Chains A and B, each alone.
Chain A
Amino acid sequence: MPTETTTPIEKQPAPLTTRRSLPRFAAIGLVILSIVAAFLYLGGWFSPRTLTPARFVDGLEYTGGTHSGFRRNHAKGVGVSGFFESNGQGMRLSRAVVFRTGRIPVVGRFSLSGGDPDVADAPDTVRGLGLLFRLPDGEEWRTAMVNLPVFPVKGPQGFYDLLFASKPDPQTHKPDPKKMEAFLAQHPETARAFKIFQSHPPSSGFENSTFNSLLAFRFVNAHGVSIPVRWSMAPLQPFAAAGPPAAAEGKSYLFDALIASIRQRPLQWRVMITVGQPGDVTNDASIPWPDGREQVDVGTLTLDSVESEATSPARDINFDPAVLPAGIAPSDDPLLSARSGVYAESFTRRAGEKKTPSAITPSEVRK
């Protein structure tokens, strides 16, 4: 047994004189300040002009208005549900469980772009389709697509600047052509994208629109082979060109037509995977991939039920395009991470707000 008994652990030396302790206090303060400064730096406090998710959503609110409880973009919409029937063809491209042969439930939301949930439907307004695939193993695949052939910009700053360049002037109610000109001079990719839009006129409705992922992703198969892909929902409903809305048609004529047709019969889209080749750009969604890329039909999306946002689970879903199952991975496209961050910020803001009724009301869906 040790013979020592307990003793005070350390002998405390005599207190320091003020002269000797002051520099030590200063050193402690300096260390603490440095840590605080490092965290402020990480939090972006020293770069107030850098675009963050919060500043991006501020921009959406400034240009589109703040409407309590609604998404800051693609505010007007309806919920839908149905299922995806996989034909098994996707399995050689991706090991994601969603591509195994079988049927899995899907919740979705059709929308129009812009922050105004009461905007009048117009043929040229960008149409969105958000989908959530519930995989049997508990994983999820979420995607938010639009009916444009390419994205108008290649990065988040471009999107932000485009918001301001296309914001209607309060006097003329039209975007200032000078601002748009200046923007296009700065963003040749947007000028090119606008040209592509002209050769892809919108269809007559939601039901015969093609919805595109635009961003590139990576599919990883069971052998670990990773390939770049983009995906599209190709409608089985026949294409008809959009005409100008007839005067008699209501403010929500596109949604009304969607509701009427989905109640008549289920609407279907083929889920098409476009396989990229080495050299195809994956970090710029404003550039289309060359024609002739392999297209794989991996199954059919059927949407057989439509609901107002008041009752649809879609209202409370963030269709964050970065929610991916194993077997689908992000590419190097800067828009994916940016969209994920901005969607999350928009979701957080609207989650805490009082819900106001959507333009497409339950009675509108039932009639």
Chain B
Amino acid sequence: MSTAVQQRQFTASMRFLHWLTAALVLTMLGIGVAMVASLASYHTLVSIHRPLGILILLVVVIRYVNRRFSALPPFPAGMSSQERFVATASERLFYIFLFVLPLVGWGMLSAAGYPIVLFGSLHLFPILPHSVVLYAVLRKTHTVLAYLLFLMLIAHFGAILFHTLIVRDGLFNRMAPWKIRA
């Protein structure tokens, strides 16, 4: 048994990065579905989508490193081992998706031969050769992964609501944006 006070929450930096990611990813998914359906706002939305995707890629890398060096709070005592397994696996899956989706976007623009403009004259180098066949595959992959990520977010959100409103085990407190007193 540990002699230190059991930490109730993720560290402040982890919570900050979590809620930052949540805001960025929700915005990003909204922009993503809206831009492909809009003629009037297509260009503006794409111009936001690109740099925002690269920002998410940066944030997820920082988040991963930060997590590796941070102490984690325990799961609520009432959570079964199966529930813990699902929670851990979904967290891993989120990291993979948040890392791979922007990379697929970057790769897909590279394969299409588009300049990867962030803002002004600032642009990124291509990470793949110009190949429309590759582009076609990555473009589809980008959409499929984005829909899957949306479903994962819905499940994540549903699970936390379930724990908060039905089970009432205080799971949400671990990631609450505010500080929870012991």
Say which residue of B33, B39, B114 sits within 8 Å of A337 (CB atoms).
B39
Write the nearest CB–CB distance from A360 to chain B, whole angstroms: 19
> Are the C-beta atoms of B140 and A352 separated by less than 8 Å?
yes
Write the nearest CB–CB distance from B112 to chain A, whole angstroms: 7
> Are the C-beta atoms of A32 and B154 separated by less than 8 Å?
yes
> Are the C-beta atoms of A24 and B136 separated by less than 8 Å?
no
A43 at interface, CB cutoff 8 A: yes
> Are the C-beta atoms of B132 and A51 separated by less than 8 Å?
no
B81 at interface, CB cutoff 8 A: no
B13 at interface, CB cutoff 8 A: no
> Are the C-beta atoms of A12 and B38 separated by less than 8 Å?
no
A28 at interface, CB cutoff 8 A: yes
> Are the C-beta atoms of A6 and B43 separated by less than 8 Å?
no
* Across-interface contacts of A322 in B (CB, < 8 A): 43
Write the nearest CB–CB distance from B93 to chain A, whole angstroms: 19
Question: For chain B residues 1-31, which have a beta carbon within 8 Å of chain A?
Answer: 1-6, 8, 29-30
* Across-interface contacts of B38 in A (CB, < 8 A): 44, 52-53, 341
* Across-interface contacts of B121 in A (CB, < 8 A): 97, 137, 139, 325-326
B167 at interface, CB cutoff 8 A: yes
B151 nearest in chain A by CB position: A36
Q: How many residues of B contact A (CB 8 A)?
A: 59
> Are the C-beta atoms of B170 and A9 separated by less than 8 Å?
yes
Distance between Cα atoms of A264 and B158 in the complex (Å):
70
A5 at interface, CB cutoff 8 A: yes
B85 at interface, CB cutoff 8 A: no
Question: For chain A residues 135-194, which have a beta carbon within 8 Å of chain B?
Answer: 137-140, 156
Distance between Cα atoms of A42 and B31 in the complex (Å):
8
* Across-interface contacts of B157 in A (CB, < 8 A): 31-32, 35
Q: Which residues of A contact B (CB under 8 A)?
A: 1-2, 4-10, 12-13, 16, 21, 24-25, 27-28, 31-32, 35-36, 38-39, 42-44, 50-54, 56, 97, 137-140, 156, 313, 316-318, 320, 322-323, 325-326, 330, 334, 336-338, 340-342, 344, 347-348, 350-352
A-B contact pairs, 12 of them (CB 8 A): A5-B3, A9-B6, A9-B76, A16-B168, A42-B33, A137-B121, A318-B112, A337-B42, A338-B40, A340-B43, A348-B139, A351-B112
Sample of 18 more A-B contacts, CB < 8 Å, known A5-B2, A54-B36: A1-B3, A2-B5, A8-B76, A9-B76, A10-B170, A25-B166, A32-B158, A43-B36, A44-B34, A51-B39, A137-B121, A316-B131, A323-B115, A323-B117, A337-B44, A338-B42, A344-B42, A352-B133
Across the A-B interface, give the 7 residue pairs with the lowest CB-CB distance, nearest first. Answer: A10-B170, A352-B136, A341-B42, A44-B37, A8-B77, A43-B33, A337-B43
